[in-house]
Structure 1
Amino acid sequence: MLVRHDTPNLLPYCAIGILAGLLYVLRMGGRGHYRFPDAMEPRLETSAIMSCWFVTALLLALLAFLLKIGPSYSRGALIAFGLLAPLLLFAARSLSKASLAAAVSHRIVGWRPIVLIGLSGEVAALRRQRLLTQFGTGDVKIFLLSDADSPVAALADESVLSSASDFARRQDCREVLLALPWTDTGRLDFVRSHLRALPTGAWLLPDANIRSLTRNASSECLRTLAIPVQSAPLTEAQCVIKRTADIILATLALLFFSPIMAITAIAIKLDSPGPIIFRQDRKGFNKKRFTILKFRTMTVQENGPAVAQATRDDPRVTEIGRILRSMSVDELPQLFNVLKGDMSLVGPRPHALAHDDQFEKMLSDYSVRQHVKPGITGWAQCNGARGATPSVDHIAERVRLDLWYINNWSLKLDAQILVKTFSEVLKQRNAY
């Protein structure tokens, strides 16, 4: 006797499972439980998981009623699904928290130290674990300012702020926290002026008076009450977008210009003795040093504390070098700097280290140019600010244009600068 077993149709159950997962994720995401700080919380959000799942089940029941598809599903299967799903959600949430904590402890993801600057009384009232949860996942590095208000204390505070800035640069910190009295506007302005050189966000945490008014609510919603006093020039998402565009366009540019670069290398070798590529140390994003690459156009290889800027009819420039500089062909090897990540296609032009030190003493805003990666071309260059900077007015105008670019960055602006750069190169203005 032949016994026939019908294969159950699992497609409707897969569809309801996918829909349930989507509704649940949207509900949990809308309540912020997938943000990194919440995911790092050791406690399990039992009530949130139950309420989100309950709403999801109600929406599924309503959808089945409206579409009249209830008879297509086994009641037993739906009841089992409704009861087992929360248990699986609890287990998955616990596993994800444990895995994330392990990844952070091994510095695989999300690890970065927190820089906390403040007065001893304000800092002592803060809980380190809450700071780690709300603002980062590394160690809390504390820099204490003097409680006194005197010229000697101001000098000591300058040293502390300099140490904090150096630490933030070395550790690639993205945020700086300030634990200062909100009423002490003079000290706040003093600290903010020193933090301007850092391309990081800065948050002013609730002081003792605010915490007393809110009954210590800051321990539960510290980031909500904190005030942003400085923003990073580009968000992490914008940095990813800009970096992706740099890699794609730089790769295409290298393929397009490779014949020209090969011919240029041969011409330099035949024209004068010396290396084909000129290397010089420059400061990039957040004052990190890198070696810039150019086609050699001079008979000298200056890379020290004294670097003379090129001038019109400079005798150091070789014959082939004059042609390369007038057409900006000497800049093409910097496409490799872009691919390496030291530079971007568009950004403030980097200067020699000797010139950086000189210009920083002249202009207080000069170091703000290093809040983004330096570029092969920039807003200043395509607006005529190319070549040497013989006076303070010249470098001040270049800084003004660079800061405008940083404050108004967009992919569209980068595209406009790249197009306009070709026009400027054809005009051959200020290039010698």
Structure 2
Amino acid sequence: MNSDISQIKYPADIPARKFYRRLLDPLIAIGLLYLLMRVSGHPFTANHVVLAILTFFISSTVFGWTDPWRDASSSNVLTLGKSIVGAWLATIVLLLFFSYVAGLVSLFQQRETVIWLAITPPVLLFAQIVLQKAGMGLSRTNVRSVVLVGVNELSVKLAERVDENPDLRMEINGFFDDRDTSRQPTGQKVTLLGSMSDIPAYVRKHNVNTIFISQPISAQPRIRKLLNELQDTTASIYFLPDIYVFDLIQARFDSVAGLPVVAICESPFTGINNMIKRGSDFVLALMIQIILLPLMLGIAIAIKVTSPGPVIFRQRRYGLDGEEIIVYKFRSMTVCEDGARVVQATKNDQRVTRIGAFLRRTSLDELPQFFNVLQGRMSIVGPRPHAIAHNELYRKQIKGYMLRHKVRPGITGWAQVNGFRGETDTLDKMEARIAYDLDYLRRWSLALDLWIIARTVGVVLKRDNAY
């Protein structure tokens, strides 16, 4: 199976730097904007509130995406400063774009806003240095020594992630394995400290703090023997189950009523991620609806006067968790098919009206779906909703097809900006679309959503595969 064990989220992989980039940095930037407006004597208006909301969503995403804090544990202030400046410049570009869409460009002509954009990076750098100095003593004395039992893909990946995340305050001493080097994963450079029988003595001698056991269930007798021998040490022991043999989607460790569980297949939109996704959807959809309302009224009138039938085409689709929803579109055809058999539109389809052909080429027929976003039935970005008839057909032919319904369907999606927009006249094309949909579930971030929205504009202008 096509699994990626780098997608696994371990409990220890939630270091302080994720808090910095997801919450603290945006709050510092917003607080600085508010302070400048108050000091200058100007009111903090509703437009500034919208700018603050955009700053929070965009900066938290960009700083999480570019990860300027990866070098935060080093003493190279210049390197860290460059990283912060780069992330903030990317934030400014996106702020200007969305502020233009929202009609807030005039804010950037204010002297206070310009000063805010200029001084935010050094303020963020200063805040990071202060926080780093405050925690320096801890980072030096609380580094945990770690050994891993078993050399395999999962344990090597864990070692790599520990090395990449200095804020975990872990140091890998090496590996223990009963197999000789010829039977260990090829291409992997590891420090082999000995066999499993050598572990207890090594742990006591070197005062090892943490042990990760990455052994298959078939090794249970050896693991039980090892655990018994380690009871006279103070080492913390963790077991890494070999779940990487499955096709993982948002896999993570969690607990339910105090009992440990392993999520093999989960929606990316849980906890704070769900709030970020829903909040960004609502804000962007509301702004877009306000801006495009005159255009939508014009389209509605054009449809009404050029062909008989309703302006809005309502079709049953599968939404979040496979529940049936009603999706809105401007009617672009002479028929409103929603039965057990739905024929996809093809090139030169005679059912498409004259105004409908234009709407479909430009994707303007999708605009009413922003109302679906405001209702909470859809997202701006997500797997495109298929007709129920198509769902029932392809769920039997494509493995993992229904997993795309673990998230709300989208107006645009990862598949659409990668060439799978419009008609899917072969099974291979639909399989490729589903592969991108599932990849979106694995990779989701707000930055990816913004990137897909930006790419959608170019895709629509090219007008490929839209009939």
TM-score by length of 1: 0.49
Larger Rg: 1
Q: Which has the higher contact order (CA 8 A, sep 6+)?
A: 2
